[in-house]
Structure 1
């Protein structure tokens, strides 16, 4: 089956879940500079207005950061921190409910990571409600490898810490989160008949491996994947999303 045929089969109520960095927006050296491609932004907004269609960004970014760099607002919805934060209109995220023990562990984790990355050029920490991410994208390869190895051997092994590795980043949370768990929860909460998901990172594989018959998964960029379909880059994904939006808005679709 081709991707076009798979898209045509997405009838009924649809959850469109999308990674942001590397999917809607090209990867950039400074994460705060990331913006969705104009074509991708237009397609996302068209999909969000289509009958029977809910669009949710599902990102490793913190929720506030995701809202700022994406530029989207309702009816586009958002899940941040790999499923640790849920935006308006969605179920409350567990990260909003850290207990005293988890909060204390997060503080201990933060202090340890600050010490670990001190003096390491190009390494940055991203502080999130449920933990901390260690970014090495802008570090020299030997620096990045040294820091990530230290994180893996140290804080990532602590009881109560859930590590999630991505491209040049390790996200450490004090509760169990994953994009796959988040998309499963969204499917049930929204009563979706099918899911379309697109992403580029290894963290997106937790969604691809959970997709069911009738769903469509699209890997953006190179690399091994459990997704059934593949596109080269965010520009190619933007075209796919535009085609999906046109099909959902056209005659014979839910609510039309």
Structure 2
């Protein structure tokens, strides 16, 4: 079976169209799209062949490939092993190679400290949960919590508590709540990549509710691909991570 055999006829046609674009942007989410979810986020390594396919695409003329993740950029580089010419964009699109556009001001720093403290309080009575600090956000992770009721309770406490603070921006995902003090958008990041490159077509691949902001900002003719089940604004869908790797390898063959 070839990678193309796992694609719907409509998606196969869309990829052929994208392969012929003079300039192409390909942006991929990381966790749940190229790497399986695990309890310890530092151990979420890419699926076999994923980085090879990205690097092969990134080496083609007039082809920009980006990993677009909610992780901070340094953590994304460490866990993925990806490097230039693959572009790494962290913190849901707000953190680029040069860092953030402007540092947090005193009010934002104070707000971030308050958010982290509130989430740590939830973690203190939720065995298995932990808080991931980010430069502009704090993230509650409840995936390792064994009791489903405690998992739901922790998420509800986060949404009713620090997620309701003034001046914060909330992204609720699969067993995570990220609370930022500066707005970020994967959709805006994709638009920035398109503007920088002049790409006629952009492809965005993602699996989580956080990726819907990326799908929502795609232009007519762009290609959004949802991984797995669930409602989506994406026009196309694949079943799982191996299908994503096969799709990328197939696109590299078409464009190469």
TM-score surpassing 0.5? yes
Structure 2 gaps of 5+ residues are 1-8
Q: How does 1:39-78 map to 2 (within 5 A)?
A: 39-78=49-88
Q: Deviations over 1:77-104 (max 9, x none)?
A: 111111221125xxx534x521121111
Aligned to 1:127: 133
Q: Which segments of structure 1 move beyond 3 Å, counting only runs of 4 or more?
A: none
Does the Cα contact within 8 Å between 1:26 and 1:37 map onto a contact in 2?
A: yes
- TM-score normalised by length of structure 1: 0.92
Q: Does 1:2 align with 2:16?
A: no
After TM superposition, give the deviation of residue 31 of structure 1 in Å: 1.3
Which ranges in structure 1 are unaligned for 5 or more consecutive residues? 250-256
1:79 to 76, 89, 92: 89
Match of 1:187 among 194, 210, 214: 194
Alignment check: 8 A CA contact 1:46 1:245 kept = yes
- Contact kept, 8 Å, 1:9 with 1:214, in 2: the verdict is no
State the secondary structure of the residue aligned to 2:88: strand
- Partner deviation per Cα, 1:52-98 (whole Å, 9 max, x = no partner): 1011111111111111110011111111111221125xxx534x521
Report the Cα distance in structure 1 between the residues aligned to 2:179 and 2:66, rounded to whole angstroms: 23
Matches within 5 A, 1:241-256: 241-249=248-256
Contact 1:125 1:133 in 2 (8 A): yes
Separation of aligned partners in 2, 1:190 and 1:174 = 29
Structure 1: distance between partners of 2:218 and 2:59: 24
SS at match of 2:171: strand
SS in 2 for 1:138: coil
Distance 1:100 1:29 in 2: 34
- Pick from 4, 8, 13 the counterpart of residue 23 of structure 2: 13
2:150 and 2:22 mapped to 1: Cα distance? Answer: 49
